[in-house]
A and B are shown apart, each in its own frame.
Chain A
Amino acid sequence: MTDKPKVAFYWCASCGGCEEAVVDLAEGVLNVVAAVDIAFWPVALDFKRRDVEAMADGALLASFVNGAIRTTEQEEMAHLLRHKSQVLVAFGSCAQLGGIPGLANLSSRDEIFQTVYKEAPSTVNPEGALPKSLHRDNGDCVSLPGFYETVRALNQVVDVDYYIPGCPPTPKIIQQAVEALLSGKAPEKGSVLAPDRALCDECPRKDTRPEKLTLTAFKRPQEILIDAEKCLLAQGVVCLGPATRGGCEALCTRGNMPCTGCFGPTSRVRDFGAKALSATASIIDSNDEKQIDQILDTLPDPVGLFYRYSLPASLLRRKKLPEQPATKGCAPKAG
Chain B
Amino acid sequence: MNGNGNLRVGLYICHCGTNIAGTIDVKAVAAWGETLPGVVVSREYKYMCSDPGQQLIVDDVREQHLNRIVVASCSPLLHEQTFRGATAKAGLNPFFFHMVNVREHDSWVHEDKQAATEKAKDLIRAAVRRVAFHKPLEKKRVPIHPDVLIVGGGIAGIHAALTLANAGKHVYLVEREPTIGGHMAKFDKTFPTLDCAACILTPKMTAVKKHPNITLWTLSDVTQIEGYVGNFTVTVKRHPRYIIEDLCVGCLECIEACVYKQAKYPDEFNLGLGKRKPIYIPFPQAVPQLPVIDRETCIEFKSGRCKKTCVEVCGDRKAIDFKQQESTETINVGSVILATGFQVFDARRLPYYGYGKFPNVYTSLEAERLINAAGPTQGEVILRDGRKPKTVGILHCIGSRDENTNRWCSRVCCMYSLKLAHLIKEHTGAEIFNFYIDIRTPGKGFEEFYQRLLNEGVHFIRGKGAEINTWPLDPSEEGKLIIRVEDTLIGKIRRIPVDMVVLSVGLEPHADAGDVRRLFNISCSSEGWFLERHPKLAPVNTFTDGIFLAGCCQGPKDIPDSVAQAGAAAAESLALIDSKFVELEPNTAYILEEACSGCKTCIPLCPYSAISFVEAKKKAEINEALCKGCGTCVAACPSGSIRQNLFEDEEIFEEIKGVLAHA
Contacts and interface: CB of A to CB of B under 8 A. Distances in A.
B439 interface: no
A246 B638 CA distance: 13
A242 B601 contact: yes
A219 interface: no
A246 B639 CA distance: 10
A269 to B, nearest CB: 4
B604 A212 contact: yes
Nearest to A279: B638
Contact of B595 (A196, A209, A214, A270): A196
Interface in A256-291: 265-270, 275-276, 278-279, 282-283
B595 A206 contact: no
Q: Which of A209, A212, A279 gathers the greatest number of chain B CB atoms within 10 Å?
A: A279
Nearest to B611: A211
A198 interface: yes
B595 A266 contact: yes
A241 interface: yes
Contacts of B637: 275, 279
B605 interface: yes
A213 interface: yes
A269 B597 contact: no
B639 A214 contact: no
A198 B599 contact: yes
Interface in A204-253: 206-207, 209-214, 240-243, 245-246
A202 to B, nearest CB: 8
A289 to B, nearest CB: 19
B598 A201 contact: yes
Given A268-B595, A270-B649, A278-B635, A209 B640 contact: no
A12 interface: no
A246 B597 contact: yes
A197 to B, nearest CB: 5
Nearest to A282: B636
Contact of B597 (A197, A212, A214, A270): A197
Contacts of A243: 638-639
B599 A268 contact: no
A274 B640 CA distance: 11
B613 A200 contact: no
Contact of A198 (B594, B603, B639): B639
A270 B641 CA distance: 12
B317 interface: no
B113 interface: no
Contacts of A245: 639
A198 B636 contact: no
A241 B598 CA distance: 11
Given A197-B595, A268-B595, A268-B641, A209 B600 contact: yes
A212 B649 CA distance: 27
Contacts of B641: 197-198, 266, 268
B660 to A, nearest CB: 12
Interface residues of B, number: 23
Nearest to A210: B600
B307 interface: no
B140 interface: no
A268 B603 contact: no
A201 B592 CA distance: 14
B618 interface: yes
Contact of A211 (B592, B596, B604, B653): B604
Contacts of B636: 278-279, 282
A209 B639 contact: no
Contacts of B595: 196-197, 266, 268
A69 interface: no
Nearest to A276: B638
A94 interface: no
Contact of B638 (A198, A201, A212, A267): A198
Nearest to B619: A201
B601 A283 contact: yes
B597 A199 contact: yes
A275 B595 CA distance: 15
Given A268-B639, A269-B639, A278-B635, A200 B604 contact: no
B653 to A, nearest CB: 8
Contacts of A241: 599
Given A196-B595, A268-B649, A211 B638 contact: no
Contacts of B605: 282
B592 A242 contact: no
A276 B641 CA distance: 13
A275 B601 CA distance: 11
Contacts of B618: 206-207
Contact of A266 (B601, B604, B639): B639
Given A197-B595, A198-B639, A268-B640, A282 B603 contact: no
A239 B467 CA distance: 66
Contacts of A206: 598-599, 618
B593 to A, nearest CB: 11
A246 B640 CA distance: 14
B638 A275 contact: yes
A174 to B, nearest CB: 23
A214 B599 contact: no
A282 B600 CA distance: 11
Interface in B605-619: 605, 613, 618
Given A211-B613, A243-B638, A198 B597 contact: yes
B604 A278 contact: no
A278 B638 contact: yes
Interface string B282-305: 000000000000000000000000
A282 B640 contact: no
Contacts of B604: 211-214, 283
A70 to B, nearest CB: 29
B639 A197 contact: yes
A224 B653 CA distance: 41
A276 B595 CA distance: 16
A199 B641 CA distance: 13
Among B597, B636, B640, the one with the most A-chain Cβ atoms within 10 Å of its Cβ is B597
A200 B640 contact: no
A242 B635 CA distance: 13
Given A211-B604, A266-B639, A268-B640, A200 B649 contact: no
Contacts of B635: 278
A211 B603 contact: yes
A209 B600 CA distance: 8
A232 B639 CA distance: 18
Give the residue among B596, B604, B605, B649 with the most A Cβ atoms within 10 A.
Answer: B604
B652 to A, nearest CB: 10
27 contacts: A197-B596, A198-B597, A198-B639, A199-B597, A200-B599, A206-B598, A206-B599, A206-B618, A209-B600, A210-B600, A211-B600, A212-B604, A213-B600, A214-B604, A242-B638, A245-B639, A265-B640, A266-B595, A266-B640, A267-B640, A269-B638, A278-B638, A279-B599, A279-B636, A279-B637, A283-B601, A283-B604
Interface of A: 196-201, 206-207, 209-214, 240-243, 245-246, 265-270, 275-276, 278-279, 282-283
List of 9 A-B pairs having minimum Cβ-Cβ separation, nearest first? A268-B640, A243-B638, A198-B597, A242-B599, A279-B638, A198-B639, A201-B597, A200-B599, A242-B638
Given A242-B599, A242-B639, 15 more contacts: A197-B594, A197-B596, A198-B639, A200-B598, A201-B598, A207-B618, A210-B600, A213-B600, A214-B604, A241-B599, A242-B597, A267-B640, A269-B639, A275-B637, A279-B599
Interface of B: 592, 594-601, 603-605, 613, 618, 635-641, 649, 653
